A and B are shown apart, each in its own frame.
Chain A
Amino acid sequence: AQKVTQAQTEISVVEKEDVTLDCVYETRDTTYYLFWYKQPPSGELVFLIRRNSFDEQNEISGRYSWNFQKSTSSFNFTITASQVVDSAVYFCALSEGARDDMRFGAGTRLTVKP
């Protein structure tokens, strides 16, 4: 069954610390896509990244980086030098070509304290 697990329910860090949010997925398909979304306190869902199963290169965008490892079915998200504005709930999601839906993990609430 298609499933996304974000084991960390809540994480609290102090500003400037690095933090990694874990995402583990389950799928039997060879073709699938993984996503990360950010939900700040204002409530909207902000798209961060989309990665297909054939591209295992790590991605870096400013302070954000993503580590995709098919061997461990993980797609982890690291924020370097965290800032208070990074405080949000972060969702990992999985989508397969053979299915009609995108499945979200339960989310990780990140609090960055000044």
Chain B
Amino acid sequence: DSGVTQTPKHLITATGQRVTLRCSPRSGDLSVYWYQQSLDQGLQFLIQYYNGEERAKGNILERFSAQQFPDLHSELNLSSLELGDSALYFCASSSLAGASTDTQYFGPGTRLTVL
């Protein structure tokens, strides 16, 4: 158990809908990262937050957004969902200064299925 929690574990929804994925980092960690894992794209970095501020952006679609709250939990919002958004979404956290070179500890993931 990495100490990173993600909810829900599974999510099934329809095209065009909006969903919110939630992540709680390990105790004491200030950085939260979001990744998407799909069969065709592999593991892709989406976005990073450090102590409430956006730190880095990767291959995140405009339909997706994220935020990190004062209690350091983070939410990833996915809107206007398409079939291709079906994937496993991971959250990770790290304890150092928020650099991508820090060790990232991953949560169990949220499996999103868009029908």
Contacts and interface: CB of A to CB of B under 8 A. Distances in A.
Interface of A: 32-33, 35, 37, 42-47, 50, 52, 91, 95-97, 99-107
With most chain A CB atoms within 10 A of its CB, the pick from B45, B58, B90, B108 is B45
B103 A35 contact: yes
A45 B106 contact: yes
B14 interface: no
A12 B92 CA distance: 29
Chain B interface size band reads: 20 to 34
A30 to B, nearest CB: 13
B104 interface: yes
B interface majority secondary structure: strand
B66 to A, nearest CB: 14
Interface in B34-93: 42-43, 45, 48, 55-58, 88, 90, 92
Contact of B106 (A42, A44, A106): A44
B109 interface: yes
Contacts of B55: 100
A37 B106 contact: yes
A4 B99 CA distance: 19
Given A97-B99, A100-B48, A102-B100, A47 B106 contact: yes
Contacts of A104: 42-43
Given A97-B99, A102-B45, A106-B42, 14 more contacts: A35-B103, A43-B88, A44-B2, A45-B92, A46-B106, A52-B101, A95-B101, A99-B100, A100-B100, A101-B45, A101-B100, A102-B33, A104-B43, A105-B42
